[in-house]
Amino acid sequence: MSTSIDKLIETTQALLWERGYVGTSPRAIQDRAGIGQGSMYHHFRSKAALAQAAEERSAAELIEEVRQLLDGPGSPLDRVLAYLRRERDILKGCRIGRLAADPEVVADDALRKPLEDTFAWVTERLAALLRDAQTDSRLPVGCDPQDLAATVLAVRQGGYVLARAANSTTPYERAVEGLIVLLTNNVAANR
């Protein structure tokens, strides 16, 4: 059974993903959650405090999903490729990445921190796998794993933006497949 706090956070998570921070009003949260204003402000002092709690939960959920994938079976490079191919609702975008385009989120250190921390965690985890892929001779030693990890993340996040702008999954799919070709051609060239 979900508590009123859980309902508020879950509702805010969904609304932030759908509408962003600016487009998510306290009234919309209360109406969708079926919780009154008094109860909302009893648990959270402001919209920003509730949004931060929702962002932190979304970040933790996303990190756990990515952790399971990156710690899964296969070689380090295979796990990076699995991350790139991960099933998702492309046109909806990344529930964390979408908030980075919101000016009020970016301007507020507390609201920006869950985004920054999530992207840093994913980048570090990818860099570790790419470093291991170099050790396994699956990637050339001359590639900087940190730079390559940032590229992997940028292709995914940028692909979402391009797909949403075109209202088509094709730009995302092409960007991801292009990076996969580059990574796997490095494998073939390195052998």
What DSSP letter does each residue of 38-70 carry, written as one string?
Answer: HHHHHH-SSHHHHHHHHHHHHHHHHHHHHHHHH
Query: Could you tell me the pLDDT band of residue 1, with boundaries at 50, 70 and 90?
Result: very low
Give this prediction's pTM.
Answer: 0.90
Return the ∠ at Cα 112 (arms to 97 and 52), rounded to 5°: 95
Q: What is the pLDDT of residues 85-138, one digit of tens each?
A: 987 789 999 999 999 999 999 999 999 999 999 999 999 999 999 999 999 988
Cα(49)–Cα(114) distance, rounded to whole angstroms? 13
Q: What is the pLDDT of residues 36-49, one digit of tens each?
A: 888 888 899 999 99
Long-range contacts of 140-148 (CB under 8 A, 24+ apart): 140/186, 140/189, 140/190, 143/186
Q: For the chain, list the domains and their CATH numbers.
A: 55-190 (1.10.357.10)
